[in-house]
Chain A
Amino acid sequence: KAGVTQTPRYLIKTRGQQVTLSCSPISGHRSVSWYQQTPGQGLQFLFEYFSETQRNKGNFPGRFSGRQFSNSRSEMNVSTLELGDSALYLCASRFDRGGTEAFFGQGTRLTVV
């Protein structure tokens, strides 16, 4: 069974640009969550999607947005990139919207220069 797939694995962008990251969850999983990981702040929750609806959102500015498609694949977008957005962006999928276990993809390493 294939795991969570994130693309691309690495990205280098310039300040002010925008970026779109993609996540394909485990087959049958309908919930997709996004996290940002930095050395200083650790792993922080960005948002969660279930059945194409955002169910929960973390404390990030509006420059961070996402969406989910009918096949459960999800994208997150960061507009007007700042140097502080450099981080590992992780996607996690779970079977349902609630208490079951979450499995992470390999992540996308974003570097903003």
Chain B
Amino acid sequence: QKEVEQNSGPLSVPEGAIASLNCTYSDRGSQSFFWYRQYSGKSPELIMSIYSNGDKEDGRFTAQLNKASQYVSLLIRDSQPSDSATYLCAVKGPLNAGGTSYGKLTFGQGTILTVHP
């Protein structure tokens, strides 16, 4: 089982729709979760971070975390063509032999989102 798994893509939605991106993780002790957006040929850009169970909203983006189910998701409302990119789920961890992960992020394989006009 991969440490961080994202729903297989690519995902295609019409402009104005809600895009739903999902991610599961295997390390039950993980505490910090992030969503990055990566345009083709560019580096990842942080768009959301979430640390507590529940929802966190920032503009058109909502991150949802359920630690009991080891599940984190990203909703993009009113999707725009400019949202077309690869979305990467990242989890801080897993713990190393010394019992800490420090700043290590483990990434999912990414979901390619295309928003068509």
Contacts and interface: CB of A to CB of B under 8 A. Distances in A.
Interface string B83-117: 00000101010001000011111111110000000
Interface stretch (B42-50, B53-61, B72-80): B42-50
B25 interface: no
Interface stretch (A14-22, A67-75, A78-86, A101-109): A101-109
B107 A31 contact: no
Interface size class of A (residues with CB under 8 A): 20 to 34
Interface size class of B (residues with CB under 8 A): 20 to 34
A26 B49 CA distance: 19
Contacts, number: 63
Nearest to B42: A106
A98 interface: yes
Nearest to B44: A104
A106 B43 CA distance: 5
A89 to B, nearest CB: 10
B92 A104 contact: no
Contacts of B32: 99
